[in-house]
Structure 1
């Protein structure tokens, strides 16, 4: 269920020259949250632009310190260490994030589930995995997965994982949330436009330095140098889940890194899902959920949610979309 890089590549068009009001677009690539971030801001000059980028970077690092399951003293790690033992007091920020995550789990009938992280113990996509998990290993792990067993106490502001061995992780939500928070910070400081791109989970605001809209190019996953459609991203966000960057192969069959938390097995039938919505956090979560739900069920769900659209590429590399998407191949 973890997402890493795009199957549908996002090609961002932006201006790095002075616009009519002597604005410049300043861009910097960084390694944050275990992945690649690109932060672009529109500012009066380069020095000011880099100051803004540094402030956004500090905000992303702050969030990582809360939600990372790899940092031993993070709030998330403390929750996991106390699974089946006791509730853990947390910040209101993390509490609210988990509240939203559980609502998304309910909306997607469990296709999205932050307690999927227990599968990290039996599925590994970093090149070290040499054998398939056994059916009993998967069955035993599924018993430790389930958003219904994440107990939130609003009055005491605590989180309790009801079963020992449970584990939450924000791999399908965290980068989008961090992008949203960095954007919120910069907008609050009066930055006129920009993009926070967290390995393809991105959010935009304002316009390019030239005054033109930000545009995203969706490319064919089998021919990444060819864009099949350009879409404007106006005060909006995009996230993509894809199946080819991280996978393992056993007996000639490829298994994607995106695990269905309801079955314990990698999802099949879809090559990629791109979600368009106001918040990157929502895009991030729904891209994973739709990938797991499959083309028809996923598009049906998105068509019922106001302000959200989807582009799905199936396993035959055919493009499908929600009702509000108009693809421009020019």
Structure 2
């Protein structure tokens, strides 16, 4: 082969190799504030321009969800439902109706430990250091007098929602970010994004694998020292949500009361400081993580073990770790 042709061939190979490197897929991440919380959106793409277009699509979807479910936005359908509590039923989009329907389903599953009508509670517990004594039994009972998922009346044919009690409210604080993460993931998959992570302030939803072919790994924070990680767990196509209450709590009579409150009784949960739930959807993982706090270790674990494709890790206030029956932990 003439030297010139050989040189040309080598240059062509080098250029092809260089182009392959340029086109190699890699993760691109953007951090921003949405729904009043931090969102980290990671997509795997060939270049930053494509990646940013994908991320913009996810942001638009999350913003759309916020407008639908926000109880802070006076123009949202959720606010319209709350304004008409005890007055009349409100017609809503099928998407919101179905979200409320699923939320009620989780309330039934958890015997009311999860309840979107928690928004009706009077905020008598303060976790900012200002509380000097426990509220009275009468105050606690009154604080949840308008809470109760059984008073959310749905009419499927008319697609209406009616809150039976005047002053009753619903809110999606314990399920909304998970739902938004699910929807953002769905639109990105529909756009052809091969893999990525939506992290909605600890509500994580993943699909596909890293460009290296390895599974995404989720770090579980050590609640006894939040600057440390106690475990790394692989997750390929599903969601993981960690709820922690090691920062917001009060102590009375030697007992620690945390900011996650039982909507049935008005008393804060105690004994657990961290719950991590693995589920196919972030919406479900979000709701169950809150529920386990309220139900306690024994009842919470028993319920999780009865559900297919759901796993959890519970850490109590003494640092003891309890896990569901089908999960393996790789400690760091």
> TM-score, normalising length from structure 1?
0.90
Is residue 240 of structure 1 aligned with residue 245 of structure 2?
no
Q: CA deviation digits over 1:100-153, x for unaligned, max 9? A: 000100000000111111125434546776765443332223220100000001
Unpaired segments ≥5 residues, structure 1: 1-17
Q: CA deviation digits over 1:131-178, x for unaligned, max 9? A: 654433322232201000000011111100001121111111000000
| 2:50 alignment partner, SS class | helix
C-alpha deviation, 1:249, in angstroms: 5.3
Unpaired segments ≥5 residues, structure 2: 1-19
Contact persistence 2:178–2:200 (CA under 8 A) = yes
| 1:99 alignment partner, SS class | helix
- Which structure has more RCO (C-alpha within 8 Å, separation ≥ 6)? 1
Alignment partner for residue 30 of structure 1, among 25, 32, 39? 32
Is the helix fraction higher in 1 or 2? 2
1:262 maps to: 264
2:161 maps to: 159
Alignment partner for residue 272 of structure 1, among 271, 274, 283? 274
C-alpha deviation, 1:240, in angstroms: 1.4
Distance 2:93 2:247 in 1: 34
Distance 2:255 2:303 in 1: 29
**Which aligned pairs between 1:56-205 and structure 2 lie closer than 5 A?**
56-125=58-127, 132-205=134-207
Q: Residues 120 and 242 of structure 1: is their aligned pair in 2 closer, same or farther, counting only changes over 3 Å?
A: farther
Distance 1:63 1:248 in 2: 34
Contact persistence 2:113–2:295 (CA under 8 A) = yes
C-alpha deviation, 1:235, in angstroms: 0.2
Q: Residues 30 and 131 of structure 1: is their aligned pair in 2 closer, same or farther, counting only changes over 3 Å?
A: farther
2:13 maps to: none
2:9 maps to: none
Distance 2:30 2:227 in 1: 23
> Aligned-pair RMSD on alpha carbons?
2.0
Q: Which has the larger radius of gyration?
A: 2
Is residue 307 of structure 1 aligned with residue 313 of structure 2?
no
Contact persistence 1:114–1:170 (CA under 8 A) = yes
2:216 maps to: 214
